[in-house]
Each structure stands twice: as structure tokens, then as C-alpha cells.
Amino acid sequence: MTTPAVPRFSELQAPRDWATAEFISDLHLQAGEPATFEAWRRYMAGTRAGAVFILGDLFEVWVGDDAALEPGFASDCAAVLQAAAVQRPVFFMHGNRDFLVGDGLARSCGVTLLDDPTVLGFQGRRWLLTHGDALCLDDADYQRFRAQVRAPAWQQAFLGKPLAERKAIARGMREQSEARKGSGAGYGDLDSAAVQAWLQAADAQVMIHGHTHKPAVHALPAGRQRVVMSDWDAAAAPPRMQVLRLSAAGLQRHAFA
């Protein structure tokens, strides 16, 4: 497979007063899993990080920012984000489940939307942040779907539908996704050549991403690394609620209890 063109990288320079930055992803928050929501709420309220980065799939599904305007689960999530953003910067990167989070939610909550990919300058080093799904090149069907739903025309047409219709469509798409997982089809992995190309173009030694639900540290040529975050599931045995913390000492994983 031909490696696609390297995208444009956004840049974010951490202020000097950030002693730490923390990263989470793939919580897939939904009303039917209250334990994970409650764990996330406690984490967002209690963290002492200089900033929190949510690198995609915070929500299992997001059908439009207007969903948070009526009482319910979406507005409860927005309230958590808003309270956290008062205390410290909160950055949000779109995932493959919540790519319709828009400027309206970000403004109302005080959250900063983060381009995918973004290079974070921290403690004199460059860290490449991405959700990860754009690099799963072997899944051609998903890449076609991704291109479709990320197109402005598709999003405008979808968001123009009544909220109830959008929720019904999202339920159908989620059922299809669950059926696919039930058939044994797991999450694909990132294309190694594309990962290397991105890191080289970004002049970064480490890529941090989620999406695959396979936490690991992958050693790459030229001393580079690919660090994969964990998903969250408070009801699992044992629970999965992992935070990736970046400080002057480097990257460390911490289990949130």
C-alpha cells in the first residue's frame, strides 16, 4: 500500500508553568455505563495536571452539540468538561466516534479543540499527538467511511436533520459496529511506514495515540517510539482507567482508582 501524504501538523507550545500534562482517550462514555462516567467525572475534578488532553473517543457517539442543550447524559458530560476547564486547560481531539463535537460545545465548556495531528512542545521535546485512526491504513472500508463523514458537506447534511433522527441513525451505526466486533473483527493497528513518516516530518521522537485499545510502547527505528494509550472501562475486571502522564521525567502510566 502506498503511504499517503503526510498531513499538516498543528503546533502547541506548553507554557513553562505546566509541570505535568495528562492524556486520556477511548472512554466511550455512554448513559448505559455509569461507572465509567463517574470515574471520569472524579478524575476530571481531582487531577492536578497542568493540562488535560482528551485524544479522541471521549464519547461512544456524539450526534451534535445541540444534544447538550437538553437535560440528559450529553448535558451531564458537558457540565463535567465545563467545571474541569475552569481549573486548568482542557484540550479535545476528535476520535472516530465523536468527530461531530463542534465549536459550540467547545466554547460553552471552555475546552480547546485540538487538530489531529498536533505537535506538543513540552520540556524541550516534541511529542506527536493523534487519535490514531487515520493511520489504520489496512482497513480500507473504514478509511472510506472516515473520508465521507469528515467531509463538511456530509456533516452539514447530517447536522441539519432533527435531533431525534440523528440519534436513531447513530443507534443503527453503533449496532453495526457492535455486530462487527462480535464477529471477531478487532481494531486494526497503525501502519508502521506511515507512523515513521509522520514522526520524521514532525521532527518528533514519540507519537502518543489511542484508538486501538492496545496499550503498549513500540520501539521504532532511529530511537523513536509509539506510545499507545488504554481505553477506559470501570466495570471491567480489573477496571481499566489509565492516565498517561508527561513530566520532566518523561511518560508514565498511572491507573486511576
Quick one: three-class SS letters along 183-222? CCCCCCCCCHHHHHHHHHHHCCCEEEECCCCCCEEEECHH
Could you list the residue range(s) of the whole structural domain that residue 64 is in? 18-255
Over residues 212-248, the pLDDT tens digits come to 999 999 999 999 999 999 999 999 999 999 999 999 9
pLDDT digits (tens, 9 = 90+) for 55-99: 999 999 999 999 999 999 999 999 999 999 999 999 999 999 999
Q: Is residue 222 part of a domain?
A: yes
Mean pLDDT across 148-171: 95
Q: How far is CA 24 from CA 174, 253, 256, in A?
A: 22, 10, 11
| Band of pLDDT at residue 185, cut at 50, 70 and 90 | low
42 within domain boundaries: yes
Contact 22, 47 (CB under 8 A): yes
CATH of the domain at 226: 3.60.21.10
In a domain? residue 105: yes
Q: Letter for the amino acid at 35?
A: A
pLDDT at 178: 74
Q: Tell me whether residue 126 is in a domain.
A: yes
208 assigned to some structural domain: yes
Furthest-apart CA atoms within the chain: distance in Å: 51
Can you give the pLDDT at residue 4? 64
| Cα distance between residue 177 and residue 182, in whole Å | 9
3-state DSSP call for residue 141? helix
Residue 153 vs residues 35, 114, 150, 182: alpha-carbon distances, Å:
36, 21, 9, 32
Q: Where are the alpha helices (DSSP H) in the chain?
A: 34-46, 73-87, 103-109, 140-149, 152-159, 163-182, 192-202
Count the domains in the chain.
1
Question: Is residue 13 in a domain?
Answer: no
Q: Calculate mean pLDDT across residues 128-157.
A: 96
- Nearest C-alpha neighbor of 35 from the set 47, 26, 27: 27
Q: What is the mean pLDDT of residues 173-182?
A: 73
Q: Look at residue 33 in the predicted model and tell me its pLDDT.
A: 96
Does 8 reside within a domain?
Answer: no
**Among 58, 67, 62, residue whose Cα is nearest residue 174:** 62
Nearest to 53 by CA among 127, 2, 125: 127
Structure-block grid coordinates of residue 6: 503526510
Q: Mean pLDDT over all residues of the chain?
A: 94
Under a CB-based contact definition with an 8 Å cutoff, are residues 34 and 233 in contact?
no
* Rounded-to-integer distance, Cα 202 and Cα 136, Å: 19
Q: In the chain, what percentage of residues exceed pLDDT 90?
A: 89
Q: Is the pTM of this model over 0.85?
A: yes
| Matching residue, cell 505546566 | 18
**10 within a domain of the structure (yes/no):** no
Residue 113 clears pLDDT 80, i.e. is over it: yes
Position 29 scores a pLDDT of 98
- Give the pLDDT score at 184: 58
How confident is residue 179, by pLDDT bands cut at 50, 70 and 90? Answer: confident
**pLDDT for res 174:** 78
